Structure 1
Amino acid sequence: MLNIFVLEDDFFQQTRIETAIKKCMDDNKLRYRYLEVFGKPQQLLEAIKETGNHQFFFLDIEIKGEEKKGMEIARKIREKDPSASIVFVTTHSEFMPVTYSYRVSALDFIDKGLSEQDYQEAISDVLIHAASSINKTVGDDSFSFRSEHSQIQVPFSDILYFETSSTIHKVILTTKKGHMEFYGKVSDIAKSDERLYQSHRSYVVNPENVIRVDKANHTVYFENGESCFVSRMKLKGLVERIALR
């Protein structure tokens, strides 16, 4: 199911796009987990808890008079999530070429000046396309995990390690690009992909990205100075896995 986010600071346009989205989903019998509309960029960014091609963003380009604010937000989203779908809904279609310099790979531009019928059709087209893409087979270099409350999809090569969060029932994923927290169990993650290795009851690592093992201090190191624990019992197995790379 899609998670749909909207960034739009004009109340009329908020209502317009929310109505169009709900009509599309109802008419086409499509399901979404949630639909959230935000007027402030930071609110939207803080609400992102998952990654993957089920994450869909409608972004206005101009926010609070800042002409390219939406593009900056798109770039931040894209840094965290290469698989998310991003669509700009804007009066600034002349900015279309500029998106290439922001490296955001927008799925489409929808002009706010369209007639209601054409506007509805444009919104429906991109949502139907996104919904049909969710269940397509992910590439070998993708890691996918789904629990009752979370769904993530990230490039496997970016994964450093997972660790149990201090927040109950949550896990923190550390990648080459940063951190994300989601609902899940470290033990379930270890079982979900044979390329991973549970190095400790609280940690699961990607052996492909281990750059050094400190056997004396039971610590494994990754790039960017990241590190995590490996238990005494798991140390030999991890070293063997690394040797097979």
Structure 2
Amino acid sequence: MMRVIDIYVCEDNPKQLNQVVKYIENYLLIENLDMRVRIATDDSSEILNYLDSNEIDKSLYFIDIELGENHINGIELASKIRKIDFEGKIVFITNHSEMVFLTFKYQIEALDFILKDYPEKIQERIIEDINLCNKQFEQSASDNEEYFQVKTGELVRSIKVNDILFFESSPVPHKVIVHLKDGQFEFYSTIKRIEDENESFFRCHKSYVVNVNNVESVNKHTREATMIDGEKVLCSVLGTRTLVKLKK
């Protein structure tokens, strides 16, 4: 069963903050949805501090882009949220449609943009976004696809485990190269750390971790694992024996 979806609202205008919360809570009550307003505030740090200190599951954020002189703007807040909660749904409420392009610059995937220029439409759009968010989380809950999270620079990248072929130690200290079905890239980690990240990952050699599900065959004589794309990965003696058993 999917856990309750937490809703966060950040708006520096008290009247508008109360209005947005009222729209949300009234609709949740009428529809009896498994959602709740967790935090409604004019202080962006209140949300960030909560996210830093608590386990986050399913979340929907309504964020005003212009938060006033004493706060970071909504784009910066969303960028910080995205580093903590990469699956969260973010909706911007703003007077500044020209700032929408910044969400692409900061690589923030937004669910929607609600313009304050059309106050008669705000409630309708909020309800649409609540329904869309609920639908998307329901779909992801029914999807058994597993994901592996990788931090690259300031971004957190989510990769389907099924798309991962294997990992290998990089010549660069404290870095690992992940080989995917459609390419490869480096990130900071260690082979030792990765082998415990997923039950499908198996350390077949001191420098390699393979995704067992994407191993096509194992050659006991050459001590090599052939991946589904034809790439070959070295295995230790013990790694070869264990991998053969795992593939039976």
AA partner of residue 23 (structure 2)? A
Q: Which residue of 2 aligns with 1:238?
A: 203
Q: Which residue of 2 aligns with 1:84?
A: 88
Q: Which residue of 2 aligns with 1:9?
A: 12
What are the ranges of 5 or more consecutive residues in structure 1 without an aligned counterpart?
Answer: 144-154, 160-174, 181-193, 196-205, 213-219, 232-236
2:60 to 31, 56, 59: 56
Deviation at 1:68, TM superposition (A): 7.5
Deviations 1:129-168 (A, max 9, x none): 101111214698954xxxxxxxxxxx41x25xxxxxxxxx
Higher relative contact order (CA 8 A, sep 6+): 1
Alpha-carbon distance between aligned partners in 2 of 1:225 and 1:132, rounded to the nearest angstrom = 35
Q: Give TM-score scaled by structure 1 length.
A: 0.58
Alignment check: 8 A CA contact 2:25 2:36 kept: no
1:224 equivalent in alignment to 2:188: yes
44 and 129 in structure 1: CA distance in 2 versus 1, 3 angstrom threshold: same
Alpha-carbon distance between aligned partners in 2 of 1:177 and 1:139, rounded to the nearest angstrom = 31
AA partner of residue 96 (structure 1)? V
Deviations 1:203-243 (A, max 9, x none): xxx9954638xxxxxxx975425576799xxxxx6336646
1:39 equivalent in alignment to 2:3: no
Deviation at 1:5, TM superposition (A): 1.0
Q: Which residue of 1 aligns with 2:215?
A: none
Alpha-carbon distance between aligned partners in 1 of 2:6 and 2:168, rounded to the nearest angstrom = 33
Alpha-carbon distance between aligned partners in 2 of 1:8 and 1:228, rounded to the nearest angstrom = 44
Deviation at 1:105, TM superposition (A): 2.1
Alpha-carbon distance between aligned partners in 1 of 2:143 and 2:116, rounded to the nearest angstrom = 39
138 and 30 in structure 1: CA distance in 2 versus 1, 3 angstrom threshold: closer
Alpha-carbon distance between aligned partners in 2 of 1:95 and 1:66, rounded to the nearest angstrom = 19
Alignment check: 8 A CA contact 1:5 1:37 kept: yes
Matches within 5 A, 1:175-186: 175=151
Query: What is the percent sequence identity of the aligned residues?
Result: 23
DSSP-derived class of the 1:24 partner: helix
What are the ranges of 5 or more consecutive residues in structure 2 without an aligned counterpart?
Answer: 177-186, 197-201, 211-224, 228-248
Alignment check: 8 A CA contact 2:175 2:188 kept: no
Deviations 1:177-203 (A, max 9, x none): 68x9xxxxxxxxxxxxx99xxxxxxxx
1:111 equivalent in alignment to 2:115: yes
1:133 equivalent in alignment to 2:142: no
Alpha-carbon distance between aligned partners in 2 of 1:50 and 1:127, rounded to the nearest angstrom = 21
Deviation at 1:119, TM superposition (A): 1.8
Deviation at 1:46, TM superposition (A): 1.9
Q: Which residue of 2 aligns with 1:199?
A: none
Alpha-carbon distance between aligned partners in 1 of 2:69 and 2:145, rounded to the nearest angstrom = 38
DSSP-derived class of the 1:64 partner: coil
85 and 238 in structure 1: CA distance in 2 versus 1, 3 angstrom threshold: same
Alpha-carbon distance between aligned partners in 2 of 1:50 and 1:71, rounded to the nearest angstrom = 23
Q: Give TM-score scaled by structure 2 length.
A: 0.58
Deviation at 1:107, TM superposition (A): 1.4
209 and 32 in structure 1: CA distance in 2 versus 1, 3 angstrom threshold: farther
Deviation at 1:81, TM superposition (A): 3.4
AA partner of residue 238 (structure 1)? R
